[in-house]
Amino acid sequence: MKILVCMKQVPDTSEVTLDPITNTLIRKGVRSIINPDDKAGIEAALSLRDEIQNSEVIVVSMGPPQAEIALMETLAMGCDEAYLISDRKFGGSDTLATSTILAAALKKIGFDLIITGRQAIDGDTAQVGPQIAEHLGIPHVSYVEEFFYSDGGDEGKAMIVMRQFEDRYHKIRVKFPCLLTAISGYKEPRYLTVSGVFDADNKEIKHFGYEELKEHLDESCIGLKGSPTKVVKSYTKEQKSQGTVLKGLTNNEAVEAIMARLKEGHII
Amino acid sequence: MSKDIFVFIEQRDGNIQNVSYELIGEASSLAEDLNQKVIGVLLGSGIEDKAEALIEYGADEVIVVDNKILKEYMTEPYAKALTDIVLDRDPEILLIGATTIGRDLGPRISARLRTGLTADCTSLFIDPETKDLHMTRPAFGGNLMAVIQCRNHRPQMATIRPGVMQPIERDEKRQGIINVVEIDFSAISDSVEILEVIKKEKKSSDITKAKYVVSGGRGVGSKENFDKLKELSDVIGGEVAGSRAAVEAGWLETEKQVGQTGKTVRPDLYIACGISGAIQHVAGMENSGMIIGINKNDTAPIFDVADLGIVGDVNAILPPLITAIKKAKEEGMDYVAPSSNKYMGMENILYNVNNGIAYLTINRPKSLNALNRKTLLEIGAVVDLLEKDETVQVLIVRGAGGRAFVAGADISLMLDMDEAAGEEISTLAQSVFSRLKNLPQVVIGAINGYALGGGNELAMACDIRVASSRAKFGQPEVKLGLIPGFGGTQRLQRLVGQGYSKELIFTGDMISAEEAYRIGLVSKVVAPEALNRVVNDLAMKIMSNGIQAVKMAKKAINEGGCVDLENGMAVENREWTSCFTNDESKEGMSAFVEKRKPRFRDF
């Protein structure tokens, strides 16, 4: 079985800070990491490979050439192959254009199961996974916390997954081919092993650009041109300022002050 | 041609989720700007009787699809129903709650329709010129806000974060259309099947995932007192946590410990009760959205990281706080905390003072804070007080309820007015606003919503105006056959020039906060949730300067605005000279020379 995992290299947003003078994001020196939900997806894929005979895990990432570093890391975790999808023509893509390009690449590689992370920590949109599934015309289940493979007897082969909602879970059976989006935190991703790192060195990252994918791509649907949404402006939030400390209040005044803040923050 | 604003109504087990009412409220305000309708799309099983409530909350039409296949949320049946409706009706805008349902459904549909989708928005507004939707959303873990547009594709789709928008008041008399439609689900394959629905128990869950955390330390004093923290966290829907001291005292399980040796949390709200705030604790919670610290000791380091610090006994404050929150939840959105001050006799405004800053809140949210005679008199009474109150340095004027600053004069009360009554109300309002403008204190208008007619005139009587991005300004009097009568024809031209002023007054058009900023009517535009904080910070910043000097500068600017340049210079010369008669200027200049911070407060 061919398991494809989509991965994005992201800046570690917990390290992104604001320049106190210019009030802009300091991106310099911020570490790049594998997006945490994607790492959970890789772990889920590797666990499934351990269970299902004749299966392989192939990682696909769209991004600039530097994303090779993150792809090397996935190979060192034990993934079988890695593809970097990169082309100048792809620059400026919004989620819809990105999902269009990724869908073309996945189609070309071929798949039984696609796993993506639920969302990337730099954009937090959670849109690319479901959009890929739509382009490929396959069902998807998002917010998946647990993955089980069922060879299913009469019912046929399927994935049994726990789909999380705010207030409930759905235990869902979904037949192949399908796309699942994974949430981090359920299972610790495996560490790199010495032999993994050694093996990774002998593997090569494959590259797809526009030329390789054009049989599956409409040029008007990719890049800046193919993106329906445009960022017209961005700004940093107002700096967190020195707070207010109130002294000598009666209890009722204190309650009033707290209530005002809770209302302000839409908490009540 | 695309038209109308569609809202996907989310229900679970047949109960309409709050986010849907919030989105209908927001859609109503967008619909007003576009002169279009609000259409709710309600999908579910056995839910037809729920449509009425949506109309009462502001929908003009509710499209209902009632089918067994829609009982529990599943992507494909929901996507099929919603897409069919969108293709049939061609909406201008489609809004969906950014829940685990909406964020699954939204992208699937946007890809099917090949239109843009902006995820997890926190504010929306209509560009007054192009009529396109501006969608603002956080990115980079909330470090950056991005404004996004989808100009060439329809519908413009957005998922909206729950709890950000405000529902409008329920009106049981409101009329609308309920439109039950059939969708053909026969082509849906059996490739996805729900085997089991498992409701989450309110398990003692992971504090790192909680939206709100109520945390206790040594100052809580006992295990019994900790129960109050639990009660507080229950009423706000959060989790209880604690410092290492609380865990070591046996008041709390180890997995609830926050800090370097415990867990790191970054909830939207962190209430630190009786926690001193040692650096090891702060490391585990300093990235929380809002931090409220309550501690007896006013030098506790927790106050360095708190957005709001209360020096006091947490065990005395929590019980009335819990009662107040419960009451607020029962009363809904219009609740404004009862003022504990002695001016409670006022009906239409709230007035309180905190650390030298006074807050005057126009409090008639049900009438969008419209000004009537009584409200004007009450503002006048506050002006009376302030003229004599030297403990107050800054007055902040704002509107209650989140939709309006002041939406205008109360038209229903003016219907029967004759000439004399008309003159009387204008004279009253003009005099109250002029006295407000000439108060010795700095007056800041925090414009949270509509500032129309008398509302814009009240705003212009403030020294400084800061607007939320959802604020709207205008002088629509000519639409009613009137002219501005509370100072609008005079103050507006002095702020933005005659040309623009005439256009605004002659057309009666409403302009956005951004446009008001562009023409200089307001000096800042900020996200709605940041408005109070920015205005407070501005007040604090002004107060940290030589306050006598600020007052004299205000006087010079105010007086100079009414006379020619030469006489204005004379006013400046007079005020400048009088600076040298007080100790404040001596302290300020000495501190500058001695390279230290001035201590103005002592004077």
- Structure tokens that stand for A19 in this block: 């320049």
A122, A134, A241 member nearest B140 (Cβ): A122
Say whether pLDDT at A34 is over 60: yes
Average pLDDT (B222-249) is: 90
Contacts of A174 in chain B (CB under 8 A): 191-193
Least Cα separation, residue B182 to chain A (angstroms): 23
pLDDT on residue B4: 96
Half-sphere exposure (CA, 13 Å, Cβ side) for B99?
Answer: 21
Q: Tell me which residue of B112, B93, B111, B105 sits closest to B2, measured CA to CA.
A: B93
Higher pLDDT, A188 or B273: B273
HSE-CB at B146 with a 13 A cutoff on CA atoms is 19
Query: What is the nearest CA distance from B381 to chain A, expressed in angstroms?
Result: 22
The most distant pair of C-alpha atoms in chain A lies apart, rounded to whole Å, by: 74
Q: B26, B477, B515, B575: which is the annotated catalytic residue?
A: B477
Whether B477 is catalytic: yes
Q: Is B543 on the interface with A (CB under 8 A)?
A: no
pLDDT in tens, B422-468: 899 999 999 999 999 999 999 999 999 999 999 999 999 999 999 99
* Residue-level pLDDT at B567: 92
Q: Which of B152, B193, B337 sits opposite A256 (nearest CB)?
A: B337
The full set of domains in chain B, from first to last, is: 5-180 (3.40.50.620), 209-322 (3.40.50.1220), 336-542 (3.90.226.10), 547-602 (1.10.12.10)
Nearest to A245 among B118, B194, B303 (CB): B303
Q: Does A160 reach chain B within 8 Å, measured CB to CB?
A: yes
Residues in chain B within 8 Å Cβ distance of A130 = 75, 104, 107-108, 111
Quote the ipTM score: 0.89
Chains A, B: CB contacts within 8 A come to: 279
pLDDT at site B301: 87
CA distance B229 to chain A (A): 15
Count CB atoms within 10 A of the CB of residue B1.
5
Q: Which residue has tokens 């929901």?
A: B78
Residues of A in contact with B536 (CB under 8 A): 244
- Answer positive or negative: Cα dihedral of A194, A199, A204, A205: negative
* A157 interface with B at CB cutoff 8 Å: no
> Which B residues, 355 through 374, put their C-beta within 8 Å of a C-beta on chain A?
355
Selecting from B141, B152, B340 the residue whose C-beta is nearest the C-beta of A256 gives B340
Is B457 annotated as catalytic?
Answer: yes
Q: What is the mean pLDDT of residues A230-253?
A: 74
Contact B533 A262 (CB under 8 A): no
**Biggest CA-to-CA distance, chain B:** 88
Interface test with A, best of B308, B470, B536 (most A CBs within 10 A): B308
**Are residues B400 and B363 in contact, defined by beta-carbon separation less than 8 angstroms?**
yes
pLDDT score of A11: 86
Cβ-defined contact of B194 to A172 (cutoff 8 Å): yes
Say how many CA atoms lie within 13 Å of A217 toward its Cβ: 27
B454 tagged catalytic: yes
Q: Are A243 and B291 in contact (CB under 8 A)?
A: yes
Q: What is the pLDDT of residue A18?
A: 59
- List strand residue ranges (DSSP E) for B221-299, in order: 239-242, 269-273, 290-295
Q: Please, how many CA atoms are within 13 Å of residue B340, restricted to the half-sphere of its CB? A: 15
CATH superfamily of A2-221: HUPs (3.40.50.620)
pLDDT (tens digit, 9 = 90+) per residue, A175-206? 999 999 999 876 778 877 777 788 888 889 99
Instruction: Using DSSP, state whether B235 is helix, strand or coil.
Output: helix
Instruction: Indicate yes or no: CB of B197 within 8 angstroms of CB of A255.
Output: no
Q: Which of the residue ranges A210-214, B363-367, B470-474, B564-568 would you say has the lowest mean pLDDT? A: B363-367
Q: How far apart are CA B550 and CA B437, in angstroms?
A: 14
* Nearest CA-CA distance, residue B39 and chain A, Å: 23
Check residue A45 and give its pLDDT. Answer: 96
Give pLDDT, residue B205. 65
Per-residue pLDDT reduced to its tens digit, B2-48: 999 999 999 999 999 989 999 999 999 999 989 999 999 999 999 98
pLDDT band of residue A239 (cuts 50, 70, 90) is very low
Contacts of B194 in chain A (CB under 8 A): 170-172
pLDDT (mean) for B514-528: 92
In the prediction, which pLDDT does A23 show? 56
Provide the pLDDT for residue A122. 84
Residue type, A86: S
Q: Which residue has the tokens 């205000």?
A: B554
Average pLDDT in the B265-283 region? 88
Interface of B with A in 245-264 (CB under 8 A): none
Under the banding of pLDDT at 50, 70 and 90, the label for residue A22 is low
Subunit contact A258:B119, Cβ cutoff 8 A: no
Sign of CA dihedral A5, A8, A12, A13: negative
Task: State the pLDDT confidence band at A21, using cuts at 50, 70 and 90.
Answer: low
- The model's pLDDT over B341-379, given as tens digits with 9 standing for 90+, comes to 434 457 788 888 877 889 999 988 888 999 998 899 989
How distant is the Cα of A85 from the closest Cα of chain B, in angstroms?
20
Choose the closest CB to A174 out of B116, B191, B291.
B191
Domain extent listing, chain A: 2-221
Q: Are B527 and B145 in contact (CB under 8 A)?
A: yes
- Residue B353 C-alpha, separation from nearest chain A C-alpha, in angstroms: 10
Using the CB atoms, write b or e for B466-495: b if 16+ within 10 Å.
bbbbbbbbbbbbeeeeeebbbbbbebbbeb
User: Using CA atoms, how far apart are residues A112 and A134, in angstroms rounded to an integer?
Assistant: 15
B150–A166 CB contact, under 8 Å: no
Q: Are B449 and B404 in contact (CB under 8 A)?
A: yes
With a CB-CB cutoff of 8 Å, which residues 74-113 of chain B face chain A? 75-76, 99-101, 103-104, 106-108, 110-112
Taking a contact as any Cβ pair under 8 Å apart, which residues of chain A between 192 and 211 contact chain B?
none
Q: Which residues contact B113 (CB under 8 A, 6 or more apart)?
A: B83, B86, B87, B155
Window 89-108 of A: residues touching B by CB (8 A cutoff) are 94-96, 99
> Does any CB of chain B come closer than 8 Å to the CB of residue A58?
no
Q: Is B291 on the interface with A (CB under 8 A)?
A: yes
Q: Is the pLDDT confidence value at A20 over 60? A: no
Query: What does the pLDDT look like over B185-217, one tens digit per residue?
Result: 999 998 999 999 998 765 556 787 788 999 999
Q: Return the pLDDT at A25.
A: 63
B327 close to A (CB below 8 A): no
- B103: which chain A residues are within 8 Å (Cβ-Cβ)? 126-127, 142
Q: Out of B22, B457, B575, B584, which one is annotated catalytic?
A: B457
